[in-house]
Amino acid sequence: SQKIEQNSEALNIQEGKTATLTCNYTNYSPAYLQWYRQDPGRGPVFLLLIRENEKEKRKERLKVTFDTTLKQSLFHITASQPADSATYLCALVSGTYKYIFGTGTRLKVLA
């Protein structure tokens, strides 16, 4: 069956360190993958998109990698800050228009 897993439901990290979140999938061939940030009681906010033929994408302190062989995407936040604390969702776009979301990882950056 098709499955998307984000490592650890929750991740605590010290301010200034790099946070690394993982998104693994099985039985999909995604055209591309996106990462979103969701704060409590709010809708997701788009962060980064990476296509299947791209290995890495960067935006300010954010970096995403996409390994279609391993069926995995890694999301990095460098020099993390308490304001980065939120739930981060990965979403696969496969075939048609459907977005398939992972369950999210709650990141907490400790001051």
Partner 1 sequence: GAVVSQHPSWVICKSGTSVKIECRSLDFQATTMFWYRQFPKQSLMLMATSNEGSKATYEQGVEKDKFLINHASLTLSTLTVTSAHPEDSSFYICSASWGASGTDTQYFGPGTRLTVL
* Residues engaged in binding partner 1 (CB under 8 A): 9, 31, 34, 36, 41-46, 49, 89, 93, 96-104
User: Least distance (Å) from partner 1 to the CB of residue 26?
Assistant: 16
Chain-centroid distance of CA 87 in Å reads 9
Instruction: Kindly tell me which of 1 and 41 has the beta carbon lying closer to partner 1.
Output: 41
| Residue closer to partner 1 (CB basis): 20 or 101 | 101
Quote the least distance from Cβ 6 to partner 1, whole Å: 9
Helix H or strand E encompassing 27:
none
Q: Name the token pair of 82.
A: 């308490």
